[in-house]
């Protein structure tokens, strides 16, 4: 019992301390000196505002992570999980519905715990810096929709996993892994066709210079583009983005309306070229394969610990259950997950460099993508000087200045 409890407590407190230290380093890395690369894009006041935005988000992260840690420690050391388990068992239901209630109550408790911070971020910080476009009504409707999706999709998936581990013995992890593989493959088209339209409106990109330029580029590089859509991102935020989804010859590119408003046709084509680079380099496929391998290892390890009496004793549980075992194993596994996330972020940053290089080579020029990245960073009040350790731990994309340097070196070769 002591070894499992020690691992979990050290992991929770250790990660909290590391992330807090990195946030401190990140704030210390900011200086009032504007990088020369961004001269003419930021004036002094705008640059100060970008740093104030980073400070405001960091302070909120400090506070929210502290509250989360305190609550987690109280639950573990105070026997909160056992109290919840005793409560859900009092209904006298079968194991699977009991597990669903157990998870549902934990999900709601976690969501409601984070709600004040989400509200503050959306309606105070994002509003203060001119990003928030979400109304209270939209926020509430989005929340209800997310609850409904969690209820339907989450209940089905969780019920299947609970069934596998309760009834199929040593082969349960293989069945659970197979289910996750199917979901990993089906998730992108399901999200694109069924889930995303519940939250945003997607309209075909109108005929014109932008559509023609994108079509010309994708045809030239033989990218199987089927649809070009504009998403009403401005309904909720002034932040801008773009992405593509789909398999085979069913590729769909989605541009936020906020992205179109703030960038020239040439810049937008460069952004698309970067996204096409991910496809050409098979980054999405590699990511999917890694995710599948990771889930297989995860479920195998889960099968070794899911009914471990000592693990349940660490949480002061009276009875063993599959549903509680899922939660406890997740906490025990968190140090490994933390280490793996560092490696995945590093791989993701490498992929971003490769996609940039592809865009530069196929466009024949780096300046349009560089200009797009600069304007994106300014529009989003991005932190131009993140601390290297913060990048290592948290960045899936390289800092913008490093991306620009890499592209300039590529052209110089």
**pLDDT surpassing 70 at residue 412:** no
Stretch 158-169: mean pLDDT? 92
**pLDDT surpassing 60 at residue 108:** yes
**Nearest of 202, 209, 208 to residue 227 by alpha carbon:** 202
pLDDT score of 66: 96
* Residue 94: band (very low, low, confident or very high) from pLDDT cuts 50, 70, 90: very high
* Residue 1: band (very low, low, confident or very high) from pLDDT cuts 50, 70, 90: low
Instruction: Please spell the DSSP secondary structure of 277-322, one letter per residue.
Output: HHHHTTHHHHHHHHHHHHHHHHHHHHHHHTT-HHHHHHTT-SS--H
Q: Which residues does 99 contact at the CB level (< 8 Å), separation at least 6?
A: 158, 162, 321, 322, 323
Q: Which backbone phi and psi does 152 adopt, to 5 degrees? A: -75, -60
Stretch 298-326: mean pLDDT? 90
By annotation, the residues acting in catalysis are 275, 356
The secondary structure of the chain in percent helix, strand, coil, rounded to multiples of 5, reads: 75, 5, 20
Are 56 and 125 within 8 A, CB to CB?
yes
**Nearest of 19, 21, 32, 17 to residue 385 by alpha carbon:** 32
**pLDDT surpassing 60 at residue 114:** yes
Stretch 40-50: mean pLDDT? 87
**Nearest of 185, 268, 187, 279 to residue 228 by alpha carbon:** 268
Mean pLDDT over each residue of the chain, to the nearest integer: 90
For residue 203, what are the β-bridge partners? 230
Domain map (residue ranges) of the chain: 2-201+280-412, 202-275
Taking only the tens place, the pLDDT of each residue in 379-407 is 889 899 999 999 999 999 999 999 999 99
Q: CA dist 347 to 48, 287, 289, 341, 359, Å?
A: 32, 9, 13, 10, 19
| Helix, strand, or coil (residue 242) | strand
pLDDT score of 105: 95
| Class of domain 202-275 (CATH, top level) | alpha beta
């Amino acid at each position: 019992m002591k070894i499992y409890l020690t691992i979990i407590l050290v992991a929770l407190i250790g990660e909290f301390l590391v992330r807090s230290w990195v946030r401190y380093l990140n704030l210390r890395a900011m200086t009032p000196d504007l990088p020369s690369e961004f001269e003419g894009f930021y004036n002094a006041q705008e640059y100060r505002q970008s740093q104030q935005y980073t400070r405001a988000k960091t302070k909120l992260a400090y506070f929210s992570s502290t509250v989360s840690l305190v609550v987690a420690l109280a639950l573990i050391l105070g026997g909160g999980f056992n109290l919840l388990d005793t409560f859900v068992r009092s209904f006298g239901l079968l194991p699977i519905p009991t597990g669903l209630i157990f998870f549902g109550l934990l999900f709601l408790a976690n969501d409601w715990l984070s709600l004040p911070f989400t509200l503050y971020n959306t309606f105070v910080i994002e509003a203060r810096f001119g990003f928030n476009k979400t109304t209270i009504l939209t926020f509430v409707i989005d929340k209800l929709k997310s609850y409904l999706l969690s209820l339907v999709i989450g209940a089905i998936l969780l019920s299947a996993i609970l069934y596998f581990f309760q009834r199929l013995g040593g082969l349960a992890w293989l069945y659970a892994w197979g289910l996750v593989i199917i979901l990993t493959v089906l998730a992108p088209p399901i999200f694109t066709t069924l889930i995303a339209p519940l939250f945003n409106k997607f309209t075909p990109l109108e005929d014109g210079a932008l559509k023609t330029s994108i079509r010309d580029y994708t045809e030239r590089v033989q990218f199987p583009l089927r649809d070009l859509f504009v998403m009403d991102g401005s309904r909720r935020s002034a932040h801008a983005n773009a992405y593509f989804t789909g398999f085979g010859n069913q590729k769909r590119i989605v541009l936020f309306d906020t992205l179109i408003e703030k960038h020239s046709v040439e810049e937008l084509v460069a952004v698309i070229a970067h996204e096409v680079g991910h496809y050409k380099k098979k980054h999405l496929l590699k990511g999917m394969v890694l995710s599948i391998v990771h889930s297989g290892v995860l479920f195998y390890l889960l099968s070794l610990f899911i009914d471990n009496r000592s693990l349940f004793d660490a949480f002061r549980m009276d009875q063993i259950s599959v549903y509680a075992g899922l939660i406890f194993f997740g906490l025990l596994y968190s140090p490994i997950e933390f280490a793996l996330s560092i490696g995945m972020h590093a791989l993701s940053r490498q992929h971003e460099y490769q996609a940039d290089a592809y865009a530069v080579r196929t466009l024949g020029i780096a300046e349009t993508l560089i200009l797009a990245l600069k304007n994106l960073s300014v529009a989003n009040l991005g932190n131009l000087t993140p601390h290297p350790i913060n990048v290592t731990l948290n960045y899936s994309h390289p800092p913008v200045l490093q991306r620009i340097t890499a592209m300039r070196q590529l052209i110089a070769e």
